[in-house]
A and B are shown apart, each in its own frame.
Chain A
Amino acid sequence: MSGVATGGDGLGARLGPLARLSGLLGRVRGLGVPLPVRIGSLVLFFALPLVFQLLGLASARYWLDVLNVVGIYAILALSLNVILGYAGMFNMGHAAFFGIGAYTTAILNTIYGWPIFLTLPVAGAAAGLFAYVVARPIIHLRGDYLLIVTIGIVEIIRIALTNNVFGLTGGSNGIMGISRPYLFGFRISQPFHFFYLIWAAVAITVVVFRSLEESRYGRALKFIKEDTVAAEGIGVDTNGLRLMAFVVGATFAGFAGTIYSARMGTISPESFNFAESVTLFTIVILGGSGSQRGVILGAFLVAGLPELFRGLDKYRLLMFGAALVLMMIFRPQGLLPPKPASYRLPPPWDKPGGGEGV
């Protein structure tokens, strides 16, 4: 990513021709895939399951289930992307927030009889609140230290869930008998129902985070990621914004937990462990940290692709590990890294000092 793209308009104005060039390149790249093709493929993606369902293809259920898993991973990875990709914080405990969301829904649903969708905001809030409480004292830590603390958090959560904390989480067996969600009286139970629920949620997540990314907060986060000291120097509240990114990401992981609970019907602590956090981390990095397209592609590759090679099940993780190493050596920015941002500058931008600050 060039300094021109992230440094904001002020810097761009001073660099004159370079900024003009990078803006031009940004526009050219944007033309890569024509809009009709994009919309067409989206429509196709959402229509195919229905077609399969109507044709009654036997394997459809299986592939829909795979796509559903990919979708949930996509939401989780998109939410981690806010923390890791935009703000550059090494969070390797994201599964903890996912787990808190999932357990909130499961407990409210099985013990107190709440309908699933009513638990959604509570699950998000619980995960967000937890993230706020644990992240507040550690938000200032440097990269690697933050990494190890977040690993500690996810381990503590897993152990707490396994030990049946407050007598609510059901110990290592977890919670069974979570009911199906109802939407306007319609019972969501089939894989292809869930397909629409999950991928609609993915779409909402994409839109929300895209607008976050393009807001002043998103730009400030990227600034913090590129150069914390400089950001602090011009008055960006670095710790406050980092904390905000953490809470927002955790909240969406909590939402994903609700959907996961509803789809599975049964949850147990082992779904929210360190290994799961590592998987999410690698989805973001492999796909392209900071890029939504990249992260979704990463979810397909990490969660979906292995299904194509079920025969090689034993060697799957071995190859995954080797692939991670090779990726980092030959393409560390990920498969689809974020495009350099381009801004339309106000007319007198080429005069010295004419540009606006961040």
Chain B
Amino acid sequence: MEFFLQQFTNGLTVGAIYALIALGYTMVYGVMKLINFAHGELFTLGAFIGYALLVTFGITGRVGLGLGLAISVVLVAGLVGVAGHVLERVAYRPLRHSDRLAAVVSALGASIFLQNAIMLSWGANYRSYSADLLPSVSVSIFGQSFPLLKILIFLTAVVVMLALWLFVHRTRIGMAIRAAAIDQGAAKLMGIDVSSVIAVVFVIGPALGGIAGLIVGLCYGQINFGMGQLYGLKAFTAAIIGGIGNIQGAMVGGLLLGLVEALGAAYISVAWKDALTFVVLIMILVVRPTGLLPERVAEKL
């Protein structure tokens, strides 16, 4: 039972990370119908900016743990958000009215470019977040002890997602986002500035992805310029499993994928862990191509 609970917690943690990344995919896809292949690299960028702040600059040693972490989160989200915005301006905006395929290839190009830019800036080797960055505290729930960090990660993801849901469903900008997702042309006729909507989406999504990168650094320690590829693929898988285009779907898909992966690795085989993800994806697409929580048109993000 203890082993199961441990794996379950691990699954929820990694699932929350997938869900955070998946939000970026799902929002961009919802509005632009584009797989933003460079999203995984923005996530990596977040991990490396976090590394620069926490390890190279040692911010927690200078201003204290709580404030240091808060500043890191804000800076990572802000800088990666800016990077996402620049990416949209350079690689996607000129292609908004062209073929789907052209946008996909441009996204691939941007992904390759960013990955190599990160490699040239920080090197090809693994970098480690120092293990003593965060105090390791465990909390005891029902007689089982859980690491506090993982619980915090899970809670952070849930809070972020709730906030995002409220933002999209309860604010005017959110309404504009939903309108643009349903029909860009009609949204324009209603006086919605679709370009600004896309710009907003391309700041929020990458910012969340960047935070996910920071979390991966804090939680697992090791980061590498190529890590965005697999995380990105899995997060996109999560978005599709949940039903791409809606926020709840990203959350459900992410957590489900995290659990399947953690329990699969524990009870089936570690070596086949990553393959399991894609088997689940293919099965879901064959049986239910729109995902578990298909976008209802009126609610499509």
Residues of A at the B interface (CB closer than 8 Å) are 90, 137-138, 141, 143-145, 147-149, 151-153, 155-156, 159-160, 162-163, 274, 278, 281-282, 285, 289, 314-315, 317-318, 320-325, 327-329, 332
Contact of B106 among A144, A152, A320, A325 (CB under 8 A): A325
Measured CA separation A148–B106 after assembly (Å): 16
Set of chain B residues within 8 Å of A162, measured between Cβ atoms: 271
List CB contacts (< 8 Å) of B102-116 with chain A: 102-106, 108-116
A-B contact pairs, 16 of them (CB 8 A): A137-B286, A141-B285, A144-B29, A144-B100, A145-B240, A148-B236, A149-B282, A153-B282, A159-B272, A318-B116, A318-B120, A321-B109, A321-B110, A321-B114, A325-B110, A327-B105
Residues of B within 8 A of A160 (CB): 275
- A137–B289 Cα distance when bound, in Å, is 11
**Partner-A contacts on B (CB < 8 A):** 29, 33, 35, 90-91, 94-95, 98-106, 108-117, 120, 229, 233, 236-237, 240, 271-272, 274-275, 277-279, 281-282, 285-286, 289
Q: Which of A155, A159, A285, A325 contacts B90 (CB 8 A)?
A: A325
- B106, B114, B117, most chain A CB atoms within 10 A: B106
CB distance from B114 to the nearest CB of A (A): 7
B166 CB to closest chain A CB (Å) equals 28
For B275, list chain A residues within 8 Å (CB). Answer: 155-156, 159-160
What is the CA–CA distance of A284 and B229 in the complex, to the nearest angstrom? 22
Q: For residue B250, give the distance in angstroms from its CB to the closest CB of chain A.
A: 15
Beyond A281-B108, A320-B112, whether A141 also contacts B229 by CB under 8 A is no
Q: Which residue of A lies closest to B37 (CB)?
A: A278
Quick one: given A145-B240, A329-B106, A332-B98, are A321 and B120 in contact (CB under 8 Å)?
Answer: no
Known A-B contacts A138-B285, A159-B275; A322 and B101 likewise in contact (beta carbons under 8 Å): no
Q: A325 touching B113 by the CB < 8 A rule?
A: yes
Could you say which residues of chain B place their CB within 8 Å of the CB of A145?
240, 285, 289
Q: Which B residues touch A159, using CB under 8 A?
A: 271-272, 274-275
Shortest CB distance A126–B (Å): 19
The CA-CA distance from A322 to B29 in the complex, in Å, is 22
Query: Nearest residue in A to B269 (C-beta to C-beta)?
Result: A163
Q: A141-B289, A155-B275 are in contact. Are A314 and B120 (CB under 8 A)?
A: yes
Residues of chain A contacted by B108 (CB below 8 angstroms)? 278, 281-282, 321, 324
